[in-house]
């Protein structure tokens, strides 16, 4: 069995999404949310907890599904994951307003969702650069502007990614 673990470490996982930190972050959010919504009353006629949990699961599911596709389709699925994050933010607000989530839980959910949004945005930017997309102006920059050098992404090799907020992601 030790040889199996060594082989896994050398070749990476069979499922590419399992190598992504954002995937593991989304699983952690699912677990956190299940704990938080377990405190919701059983007589909730709006089915808020199941809907909230479904949206959270959709973050991870879209990341996993997209990772098996080509880069442009992966970007599409990552955008769907961001949509699921926005749904979770709405459910966070609804739950907080209904006094189902405390201020502490509401803030923690907001922070986790913002962090995942940034990570997905960085991954999308990285994938688009590797496909030759340029989200900035296609005009030549003047000499006073900062020049960025696109990073070419190998599908199998992790690299460091920086987002617009100064965060660094090493799994993209």
Partner residues linked to 162 by β-bridges: 168
Q: What is the DSSP string of 25-80?
A: HHHHHHHHHHHHHTTS-TT-TT-HHHHHHHHHHHHHHHHHHHHTS-HHHHHHHHHH
Selection from 118, 27, 124 nearest residue 66 by Cα? 124
Distance CA 161, CA 172 (A): 7
Rounded to 5 degrees, φ, ψ at 161 are -125, 140
Q: Classify 46-132+158-172 by CATH class.
A: mainly alpha
Residue 28 has pLDDT above 90, yes or no: yes
Could you give the CA distance from residue 29 to residue 78 in angstroms, rounded to a whole number? 16
Token pair, residue 156, equals: 């199998």
- Of 148 and 104, which is predicted with more confidence? 104
pLDDT tens per residue across span 29-80: 999 999 999 989 988 778 999 999 999 999 999 999 999 999 999 999 999 9
**pTM (global) more than 0.75:** no
């Amino acid at each position: 069995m030790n040889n199996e673990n060594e082989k896994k470490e050398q070749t990476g996982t069979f499922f590419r999404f399992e190598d992504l930190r954002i995937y593991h972050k989304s699983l952690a959010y699912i677990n956190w949310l299940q704990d938080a919504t377990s405190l919701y009353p059983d007589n909730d006629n709006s089915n808020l907890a199941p809907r909230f949990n479904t949206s959270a699961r959709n973050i991870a599911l879209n990341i996993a599904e997209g990772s098996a596709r080509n880069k442009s389709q992966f970007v599409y699925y990552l955008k769907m994951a961001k949509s699921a994050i926005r749904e979770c933010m709405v459910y966070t607000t609804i739950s907080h307003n209904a006094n189902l989530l405390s201020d502490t839980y509401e803030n923690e959910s907001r922070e986790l969702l913002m962090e995942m949004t940034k990570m997905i945005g960085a991954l999308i930017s990285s994938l688009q650069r590797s496909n030759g997309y340029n989200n900035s102006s296609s005009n030549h920059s003047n000499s006073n502007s900062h020049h960025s050098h696109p990073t070419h992404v190998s599908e199998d090799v992790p690299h460091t990614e920086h987002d617009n907020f100064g965060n660094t992601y090493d799994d993209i």
